[in-house]
Amino acid sequence: MRKGAVGVALAATVLVHVGVAWWLLGLRRPAPDRVADALTVIWIERPLPIVPPPAPQPAPAPTTSGFTTPLPARARRNDALQAVDVTRPSIDDAAPLPTAAALLEQAGDWARQQAPAADFSRDPLQHRPMPAADGRFAMREPVSVEDVVIAVGKLFGGGPSDPCPRIRRNIANLGTGGDAELISEEIRRLQQACL
C-alpha cells in the first residue's frame, strides 16, 4: 500500500508542477515586434546659418580738386557694422580718484567672481603628500591572544566574559518599571559576582 501512495504523491506533484509551469508560460506577454525602434537614433540636421550677401564695395572716389561729387547712396545698410559717435570724457583734475581701499575691495569682488566655488567633498583618489615626521606618533597596544579570542567570540555571538556590565545594564533597564522579582534576582547576581 505504501508504494502505491508514494507513486500517487509523486505523480500528483509532477502534474501540479507541469500545470503551474504551463499556466506561467501562458501569462508571458509576447515581445513587441518593433523593439529596434526603441533604440534607433535619429540625427537632426542642423540648419545652415543664413549669411547675408556681402555689401558691394564703394567705387573709389576720383581725386579731383575743385568740385565735390555727391556720394552714391548705399544699396543696403549693414546693421552689424554701424558707426557710433563716441564722446571722449574729459579728464578733470578736480575729479576724485578712487582710494586704495576701494580698489582693493573691487579687486577682491572680481577675484571672488572669477574663482570657482570651493568644493569640500572628499576625493578618495586625490594624491596627498606623505605625513611629515615631527617626532611624535601614536602607538597602538600590541594585539594579544586574548584580544583575538574576544574578537572571534564576538563574531559568533559571544561577548565579554565579565558579567558585571550586563548585570548593571539589566538593573538599569528593570529599574524603569520592571518586575520586582527580576530586579531582586539581578541585585543578588551583582552582589555575588561583582561586589
| pLDDT reported for residue 141 | 80
pLDDT tens digit sequence for 76-106:
555 566 777 777 766 666 667 888 999 999 9
Contact yes or no for 167/191 (Cβ under 8 A): no
Residue 125, helix vs strand vs coil: coil
| pLDDT reported for residue 43 | 79
Helix, strand, coil in percent for the chain, rounding step 5: 40, 0, 60
DSSP character for 176?
A: T
| pLDDT reported for residue 177 | 74
Low-confidence residues of the chain: pLDDT under 70: 1, 30-38, 58-81, 89-95, 117-119, 131, 133, 135-138, 159-161
pTM of the model: 0.23
| pLDDT reported for residue 60 | 65
Residue 111, helix vs strand vs coil: helix
Enumerate the domain spans of the chain: 161-195
Cα–Cα distances in angstroms (integers) from residue 187 to residues 9, 160, 162, 171, in the given order: 59, 20, 16, 7
| pLDDT reported for residue 3 | 77
Residues, the chain = 195
| pLDDT reported for residue 92 | 64
| pLDDT reported for residue 9 | 92
CA distance 189 to 162: 12
